[in-house]
Amino acid sequence: MLQVVIDKDVCVACGACVVSGPDVFDQDDNGQAMLIVEPEESLREQILESIDACPVQALSLVEEPAQNAA
């Protein structure tokens, strides 16, 4: 399980994350980044691309410990 953190105090609503990660991000009514899905492993590449694309480093990925891993 991945956790994506969006810092809304920093986000400047440019929409770069939506271009890089259209399956993960959209913009809310303010134009700021929002998640449209539960971030899954299969979306890791898009998430990382969006983190790189964000001009203000408002996005970050937190790896949650796999509590029930086999």
Partner 1 sequence: MTELTSTEPGTQVRAFPLERGCPFAPPQQYAELREAEPVSKVKLKYNGREAWLLTRYEDMQQMLRDPRFESDIADPGYPLQFAFPLDLLEQGIVSKTLFHMDPPVHTKHRMILMPELTARQVEAMRPRTQEIVDELIDAILAQGPGPVDLVKTLTAPLPSIQTAEQLDLPRDTTDLFYRWIALLVTQGTAEEHASANAEVEMLLHRLIAERKANPGTDLISNIIKRNDERGGELSDLDLSALVRTMIAGGHESTLNGMTVGIFTLLTHPEQAALLREHPELGGQAVDELMRYSTVSDHGTVRVAKEDAEIGGVLIKKGEGVICALQAANRDPRVFSNPDTLDFHRKEASANLAFGSGHHRCAGQTLVRMQMEVLFSTLLRRIPGLRLATPVDELPFKGETALIDGLHELPVTW
Residues in contact with partner 1 by the rule CB under 8 A: 12-16, 18-20, 26-27, 29-32, 49, 52-53, 55-57
One-letter identity of residue 15: G
CB-nearer residue toward partner 1: 3 or 30: 30
Radius of gyration of the chain (CA): 12
Question: Least distance (Å) from partner 1 to the CB of residue 40?
Answer: 21
CB-nearer residue toward partner 1: 1 or 13: 13
- The whole-angstrom separation of Cα 10 and Cα 39 is 21
DSSP 49: H
